[in-house]
Structure 1
Amino acid sequence: MPSLIPDVIPTGTFAAREQPTLPVASGLRVRPWEPKDAPAVFTAFQDPVMQQWHARVAHSEDEVRDWIEEWRTSWHGERHAFWAVADAESDEIAGRIALRGITLADGAAEIAYWTMPAARGRGVAPTAVTALCRWALDDIGFHRIELLHATGNNASCRVADKTGFLLEGTKRSALLHPDGWHDMHLHARVGADPTPPVNYGESMPG
């Protein structure tokens, strides 16, 4: 059935180009994942804080290489887009940033992120979120980006506040974690929202 409303972002916008490296502040790079990153990701998912909020564990570096291959190929499927956040000089992995559940027709996606245990406290998450939102909203033309986190994850709530994601409400008993069902805070940014200055001195734990 034909729609009266044109797609906000045309199909093929991602698939027709290579995944970019995004400009970012504070001595970091936001770049596509590479197979060499597997040991760092494996280490990240041994961390109890990561397991608490992401409900996932890595059993081997080979398993992680499969994840990375999925992250790399998902770009051309235009449903998800994953980037590594790395030190600009050493290329050491500091975290991950992603757009998940992309719906090009609606210009909508969910932003997700985590930081390496050794990188916490350096503002990695707000820096990466700011860079990805600038690219998605200003360059690509997304209209709405959502950010969800368990209500108990106070650090992630601070990241949302710092990067201009307004709290819209609470989704009750919305996500199952190893310790049971969690309520989730729903934050969002739309294209017309201003971007606040970011305090880069603090990051999130997971």
Structure 2
Amino acid sequence: MPETAANAPETPGGTVTDIPAAALESVRDLTGVMITTGRLVLTAPSPADVDAIYRICQDPAIQRYTTVPSPYEYEHARDFVEKVVPVWAKEGSNAVFGFYHATSGQLLGMIGLHGISGPEAKNGAMAEIGYWTAPEARRQGYTVEAVRAICRWGFAQLGLERIEWIAFDGNEGSRAVAVKAGFTVEGKLRSRWVHRGERHDGWIGSLLPGDPIPR
């Protein structure tokens, strides 16, 4: 488990836990990472969040535009929290966080950098961002704030050279968040996915280390 710095460094996106040099090898343990912003705390979900995740993932928009199982059962939420996220963190393959209101502690959504690769990979250090937001937390800027913070962290702490945003064609909410966070929408991926038994187009965008990330 990475140690938490006694005086965590300040970054433009907030305060993050430091990652020891040993964890920056091709296999990096991301367990215990925390990112804070003005209104949010980003940290791995805990068993206390299972009920909320199960409830939120019943939302029709989340089931339509993400790859969560459908129907979404309670066991899916529990396995995600207790098995999937910890394994991903230990492997360093996916950095998944709940984003919580810094004052109330309410779970507002989930966000992650997925398919993390290092500089030794064929296409270098990259990841794909993904997120969903609880219906009651939408249109308040929380997701944009979380996206900006995790991208700054990914560039600064993981050395990423490109972060991709990919969404189903028609997911205007996700697109609006990505654009506000500084992503450039690059185009359409025709017939990119089979989702719920149907083939769908997608959108793709990117954020690079030199791109401005709005405040």
TM bucket, shorter chain: 0.7 to 0.9
Please give the alpha-carbon distance, in whole angstroms, between the structure 1 residues aligned to 2:91 and 2:194.
27
Matches within 5 A, 1:1-206: 10-12=25-27, 14-15=28-29, 18-25=31-38, 27-55=39-67, 56-57=69-70, 59-69=72-82, 70-105=84-119, 106-178=124-196, 180-197=198-215
Normalising by structure 1, we get a TM-score of: 0.84
CA RMSD of aligned residues (A): 1.7
Report Cα offsets for 1:117-158 as digits up to 9, x if no partner. 111121121111000011111233111100001120111111
Which ranges of structure 1 fall in alignment gaps of 5 or more residues? 1-8, 198-206
CA contact (8 A) 2:162 2:206 kept: yes
Indicate the larger mover: 96-105 or 170-179: 170-179
Q: Residue 134 of structure 2 aligns to which amino acid in structure 1?
A: M
Normalising by structure 2, we get a TM-score of: 0.81
Please give the alpha-carbon distance, in whole angstroms, between the structure 2 residues aligned to 1:103 and 1:139.
13
Q: CA deviation at 1:196?
A: 2.2
Task: Say which structure, 1 or 2, has more relative contact order (CA 8 Å, 6+ apart).
Answer: 1
Which ranges of structure 2 fall in alignment gaps of 5 or more residues? 1-23
Tell me the equivalent position of 2:7: none
| Number of matched pairs | 186
Does the C-alpha gap of structure 1 residues 185 and 39 become closer, same or farther in structure 2, counting only changes over 3 Å?
same
CA contact (8 A) 1:33 1:72 kept: no
Q: CA deviation at 1:179?
A: 6.7
Q: Residue 88 of structure 1 aligns to which amino acid in structure 2?
A: A
Q: CA deviation at 1:57?
A: 3.1
Please give the alpha-carbon distance, in whole angstroms, between the structure 2 residues aligned to 1:21 and 1:57.
30
SS at match of 2:33: coil
Runs of 4+ in 1 over 6 A off after TM superposition: none
Tell me the equivalent position of 1:4: none
Please give the alpha-carbon distance, in whole angstroms, between the structure 1 residues aligned to 2:72 and 2:214.
39
Q: Residue 134 of structure 1 aligns to which amino acid in structure 2?
A: R
Report Cα offsets for 1:150-183 as digits up to 9, x if no partner. 1201111111111111111211111122372211
Please give the alpha-carbon distance, in whole angstroms, between the structure 2 residues aligned to 1:66 and 1:178.
21
Q: CA deviation at 1:59?
A: 4.2
